[in-house]
Amino acid sequence: MIAALGLVFGVIAGLLFAPDVPLGLQNYLPIAVVAALDAVFGGLRAYLDGIFDDKVFVVSFVSNVVIAAAIVYLGDQLGVGAQLTTGVVVVLGIRIFSNVAAIRRHVFHA
């Protein structure tokens, strides 16, 4: 529940303050957002399963963002940044949708 509240607070703060992202980091922002969403939905699923651990959530959140950004950075250095970005988005997207499906099954008891 804390993760969902943090997400809502972060979205509202972002809309109110409209921060500027430095040009050098603009390629990494979408990846960081998708990685963070993966951690948030994973945390919500764990909460509904009754196995949520705040330390695991924080480590998952930070490591997802750092690893995803590192993969994209490596791709940029190798000249294949767009392909690795697509790969990261696809993998994290699959994880997000599987977590959302599990959350939906919990909510609707299906």
- The full set of domain ranges for the chain reads 23-108
pTM for the model: 0.80
69-92 confidence digits (pLDDT tens): 999 999 999 999 888 889 999 999
- pLDDT for the residue numbered 110: 62
Backbone angles phi, psi at 50, to 5 degrees: 80, 20
Whether 22 shows a pLDDT value over 70: the answer reads yes
Q: Which residue has the higher pLDDT, 81 or 51?
A: 51
- pLDDT for the residue numbered 55: 92
